[in-house]
Structure 1
């Protein structure tokens, strides 16, 4: 058993790409070895901004030998009319390295039995450049020199070492060797690796902590020591910690300071400046109050750390000076003036201004309030919120710190004397900002968030700016998922399909929506995605076929049907209802049911049972009641011929079935449920 080291030396990668690239390399190497039948015990990953590496542990000396049976041409075309082997069989045999006489006839086909001898692992690993590295995928690529090869960043060196032996391969003009490099500034010499297993220890001596987890633990320990020494509370926000970890090879945490006067600026501004712009961790006292200090991590040792801290302080203070200026100047602005100026701010060149967008949102918000059965006195607050909620886009603070859209709007609105619920909705209408992000906590904020997102979706579809494949530049998928999550979180029984249908009949201040069918298909796809895991796929498809976009009701119906799949009568019940659906579809115009045309007791019994069945908000009970129709449906079909020549009797029986299908169809399309 051997160990194999592969290292890709690079120019500095963007920090947000390092972790994913490292995991991708592990996966690709493991898959490459598995596909080539080379066994191994484990793969250890290493990564820094300048390198991606794996150490494959317990690697077999050679790939496994196998016996393989390969299916060939059919017996019908194996020989010509004279009994000679055909060209098809001869070509197949050559391809498999055997003669036609070696083939074995099994049933109607000839098979080749092959013994494939294992190959030395060292020989297989020579393909790792072309089969692994060159096939890696990234969200950001670079092209360099005079070649067409694309990679996340230019490749500077390659290491390929099987225990003590070099495994040669070339990628572009770089030849793999046993030579790696230490820290860019702290170690001048190259490192010649005698053994693959020496990699981590050798780099550590050259001021590189190659194990990302170990490096992160070092950062955490250093910051914890600083916090303890100063009686501070320092929150290591996970995504920021991950990013900082991927910015350094040899971490040293240090403290920086700023003037306490800047604490008069809203905390969100200070935290945003430190986290988002400088990659610093904010400092709080033990009661949670923000302090005029920050923690940063240097890519290097502690030598001259005081100068490093001073340099970082100057950069941060420059930002805080701007923030303080904007905070002071923005308070002189009037909301009404900013809203008026939004008439000249483009929402999208094909759609119109932000002000016009707000006007449509105001109308949608009122429709939503009614559907959500919220109090009528919400109208005043909702109208005010919709009238002003984008005003902060024109403030200096948001112009400088666009991450604070909505956040500053809430603060400035409160300072201007706006109602607290109106101010909160200005911040909340942006929520959620990610797939699992926080949702609005106020009802007015929730309504405004849905209305804003809904107009965005409908307007962009109207002008043909529709997501395709993975391309979604206006984040319409995220907006749709946000709408659905908010509705479900608020426990609102909103029939989104009915609301959208109504919106398509309106002239919204000179703007009319278009492409309704495409919108409904798009939203249905998002609902299906949201319901994944709730029930079997076919059951989800069946409840979606009702056309309803009441997410809570769809989820409950899918779960109720799925819960019945193990019942003894599930197959029969679903198939009976499906048969009802199929026959009912043959009636284009449904006449009223005439009880006088019933000829047998089974017709009367089915009619009476269906008449007594009432759908409620209890999905489980609804399914139980529908399945209870199975016995009278079976009895009906056993004793009644539906498709007969007598037109009046046939239509009356189809109308009876249509009445059942209409009721059951509000729960699911039972023809789509698989019972096999």
Structure 2
């Protein structure tokens, strides 16, 4: 063997779940170099290759031996390590023992006139091939899986049973042991096209041997193959494929030798709502739908096969049979559901439990109707829209007990919209039913109009308030009811619509509805927790867009509870601070000085007749700012309020530069402190600038 060689390590398994494989690929890129570095094995670049049945690491330029190492550790001062007679103390003995040396082996070294004891330890060079079995076994154990299993009589845990191991340093086998297997030089190919075993002569050959056995060994390469095949199909058919990122990622990691093919289903099924057909294909079968030039769904779809392309007709026929069965079910359920009007399903919501302590979905529907009425009243929404909101809230969850949604859960709301239209409900009601789950994730669109927006707010706020009331608030990284996502949805709707309602008052209204329904809880405590929860979500969102933490704290210090008010004020303050950094930094410092000196007990009733010229200028500036700030806040013109505060910079700077606040005369001192109290009070409803002055 030369001084360096390539290391190849392959873990062969049963098919690993797609998203687990993606995470494992990312982990290996960190685990392998870290494991080698931990035992000081010199190496070059690490490349990771994976497919559903294998995890491969290829490491370039692995040295034959580790480098010899001299480790030097400084210990206590010599006067502490040895007594006056030169005998080692407990400090020296303990230090030597901790480094694996006899105390006699300690050295003394002078450093700038102070003598210290040192432990010098020689670490000899080691044979890398002898170290690798344990290192590579550690890599296997280090991979974290969402779910693991045992198999056979072994005790090891892995995502799926491990069936073979390959470990080669150059052309030498590294005997890694795991789950009753010992690594050798035999790999496996595609399960059907070239199962193997296939002998690997040296580490440099592993990837080419795998590729020759009909395995595309990287996610990037498989994606490229799929996209190329899809593009060819689009060119041949004139249609356009929809490739959602999540489904594409899954398909990439479900096949070792992907081949896109075209399937067809009976046009009769196009009478079923498009969403349910797409759900059947994407979610259940991982097929990609094809659309015509007008964006209409066609009866063609793309299959990504892991089989032999030579048998395309057989593969397509089998998949078409599967699709036909799914679509037949969808059409049957849809036709059956249409035999009853949508409102006939509302009473059946008693069959669906929302949450054990909070009752059924029928109970939730009743609460959402009541909360929607409170919101419409508070927002001053006109009567015609109020009727549509009430109707939408009543029907929003009705499709949960329809056969189509029970079978195809991702189309809840959407199917309700179709059933509402078929039953003659108003178009805005039908649209609100379809959209009331929005926004479903960060960046998703909010409901189109006020009808859906109010129902969405009511639904999400009812869920949050109820679950907090029964002690099911999110904890740490655990959020089983997706309350954080619901809260962000509420904030997005309020932010984008400017709906003139108070979130805090809406929370209060929701808690009242729960109490009226007989739910018992500590209202004050739950209310505080919910408001804090929303404020925290808003703080995170503000930090994500670049608002500084101390800017947010400065606004919150004024007792702000409304997240939307917090957002508007914090953004305005951050913008003003960014555009005029010197003005606002100076103002923050001036406020902090005034805030530190003021004595609240003295009040603000200073004697004008006793003010100096500089003090009078500050007093007049404060009076002007009070009026301007109050008027700006009343009209929600926060930026103007900040401008009014900025006007105080010059007079307050002049005041501190020329005035001794803590004058020896107690009356003069008290008068000046009262003036500072009034100066500080101007900021009370805008921001606590002392938060921004902290370093």
> How far, CA to CA, are the matches of 2:227 and 2:341 in structure 1?
45
* Structure 1 counterpart of 2:690: 671
- Aligned residue for 1:532, secondary structure, equals helix
Partner of 1:249: 256
Task: Find the partner of 1:553 among 546, 549, 568.
Answer: 568
Q: Which of residues 33, 55, 61 is equivalent to 1:30?
A: 33
Q: CA deviation at 1:621?
A: 4.9
Distance 1:329 1:70 in 2: 80
CA shift, 1:341, in A, is 2.7
Is 1:101 matched with 2:107?
Answer: yes
Q: Paired residue for 1:573?
A: 587
CA RMSD of aligned residues (A): 3.4
Residues 1:610 and 2:630 are matched in the alignment: no
C-alpha distance in 1 between matches for 2:399 and 2:662: 67
Q: 1:26 to 1:446 in 2, by over 3 A?
A: same
| Contact 1:576-1:634 within 8 A present in 2 as well | yes
The answer to which structure has the higher helix fraction is 2
Aligned to 1:224: 231
- 1:84-99 alignment to 2 at 5 Å? 84-96=87-99, 99=105
Name the structure 1 match of 2:274.
Answer: 267
Q: Report how many aligned residue pairs link the two structures.
A: 672
Q: Is the 8 A contact 1:282 1:294 kept in 2?
A: yes
Structure 1 position 528 matched with structure 2 position 528: no
Give the gaps of 5 or more residues in structure 2. Answer: none
Q: Is the 8 A contact 2:280 2:326 kept in 1?
A: yes
Q: Quick one: structure 1 residues 280 and 623, their matched pair in 2 at CA, closer, same or farther if it must change by over 3 Å?
A: same
Q: For the Cα contact (< 8 Å) 1:78–1:88, is it kept in 2?
A: yes
Residues 620-643 of structure 1, C-alpha deviations (whole Å, 9 max, x = no match): 554454344344444545635469
Separation (CA, whole Å) in 2 of partners of 1:335 and 1:643? 79
Distance 1:41 1:568, change over 3 A: farther
Residue number in structure 2 paired with 1:518: 529
Residues 523 and 250 of structure 1: is their aligned pair in 2 closer, same or farther, counting only changes over 3 Å? Answer: same
Secondary structure in structure 2 of the residue aligned to 1:151? coil
CA drift at 1:143 = 3.3
Q: Does 1:542 align with 2:548?
A: no
- The TM-score normalised by the length of structure 1 is 0.89
Tell me, in whole angstroms, the C-alpha distance in 2 between the residues paired with 1:397 and 1:79. 84
Q: Report the CA distance between 1:276 and its aligned residue.
A: 0.6
Structure 1 contact 11–155 (Cα < 8 Å) conserved: yes
Find 2:429's aligned residue among 405, 411, 422.
422
Tell me, yes or no, if the aligned pair for 1:350 and 1:463 is still in contact at 8 Å: yes
Q: Is the 8 A contact 1:200 1:211 kept in 2?
A: no
After superposing the two structures, state which structure 1 stretch, 216-225 or 274-283, moved more: 216-225
Q: Which moved more, 1:653-662 or 1:437-446?
A: 653-662
- 1:157 lines up with 2:164 in the alignment: yes
Is 1:288 paired with 2:295?
Answer: yes
Asked if the contact 2:190–2:213 (Cα under 8 Å) also holds between the matched residues in 1, the reply is: yes
Which of the numbers 136, 139, 162 marks the counterpart of 1:129?
136
Residues 386 and 71 (structure 1), Cα distance of their counterparts in 2 relative to 1, 3 Å cut = farther
User: Deviations along 1:114-169, whole A, 9 cap, x unmatched?
Assistant: 67666555455444335432122222222345555432222222222223222333
**Contact 1:359-1:509 within 8 A present in 2 as well:** no
Q: Which range moved further: 79-88 or 152-161?
A: 79-88
Change in CA separation of 1:657 and 1:329 when aligned onto 2, cut-off 3 Å: farther
Equivalent residue in structure 2 for 1:196, among 198, 203, 223: 203
Counterparts in 2 of 1:632 and 1:176: CA distance versus 1, 3 Å: farther
Determine the C-alpha separation between the residues in 1 that align with 2:143 and 2:587: 50
Asked whether the equivalents of residues 109 and 115 of structure 2 are also in contact (C-alpha less than 8 Å), the reply is no
- 1:302 aligns to what? 309
Alpha-carbon separation, structure 2, partners of 1:590 and 1:433 = 53
Where 2:278 maps in the other structure, the secondary structure is helix
Q: CA deviation at 1:330?
A: 1.2
Q: Is the 8 A contact 2:465 2:511 kept in 1?
A: no
2:557–2:688 contact (8 Å) kept in structure 1: yes
Question: 2: CA distance between counterparts of 1:612 and 1:622?
Answer: 12
